[in-house]
Amino acid sequence: MTHEQIIETLEAAFAGQLSDCDTAHGISSITIPAAANLKVLQFLYDSEDMQFRFLTDLTAVHYPNRTNEELCVVYHLHSLYLNKRLRLKLYVPVAAPKVFTASKLFSGANWMERETFDFFGVDFVGHPNLKRILNVDEMDYFPMRKEYPMEDPTRIDKDDEMFGRGGTIC
């Protein structure tokens, strides 16, 4: 099965719900609606032709300029049967970042979701133990969001203008 056939199979099963399907650097990327994440994951898991039964990675990306879809949750799936990788993305608003947990389907998703919650504040609905994992429990913000700059803003010798991509956060 090629990447195109995987995308076609998914499109047939979830007509009109997928967007931004492309294949680059040997991996297909598909954007799915946030509410349908478990249905798509389960479909890919159960499909005898594809068998996407290995969750390689789960993380998030913050795009502050995308209004109402600031947070992007990214799943990297691997089908050991086809030896193909697949990237699923879904966007949720930063004000109410609710995504259904995949930890029932993949035990390995448990800590990956906790890490994503810890750094981005994505609320994985139904997660058995959604609390901070790498940061201290008392922390009251989500540090990987783009509004938290890396350098101390009062230090002029560490001006982002010189080191990063300019003074703005993105």
The residues of the shown chain that bind another protein, judged by CB under 8 A, are 24-27, 29, 53-57, 59, 61-62, 74, 76, 80, 83, 85, 87, 106-108, 110-112, 115, 119, 132-136, 143-144, 148, 150-151, 160, 162-165, 170
Closer of 13 and 63 to another protein (Cβ): 63
C-alpha span between 76 and 54 (Å, rounded): 9
Shortest reach from residue 12's CB to another protein, in Å: 25
Nearer CB in complex with another protein: 35/80: 80
* Identity of the residue, 13 or 82, whose beta carbon is nearer to another protein in the bound complex: 82
Tell the smallest beta-carbon distance from residue 34 to another protein (Å).
Answer: 19
Alpha-carbon distances of 144 from 69, 118, 122, 147, 148, rounded to whole Å = 16, 9, 11, 8, 7
Q: How far is the CB of 138 from another protein (least distance, A)?
A: 13
What is the rounded distance in angstroms from the CA atom of residue 38 to the CA atom of residue 44? 10
CB of 15 to another protein, least distance (A): 26
In the complex with another protein, which residue's Cβ is closer, 18 or 113?
113
Place of tokens 């930890």: 103
* Number of DSSP helices (H) and strands (E) in the chain, helices first: 4, 7
Beta strands in 25-168 (DSSP E): 27-31, 54-62, 71-79, 84-92, 98-100, 123-125
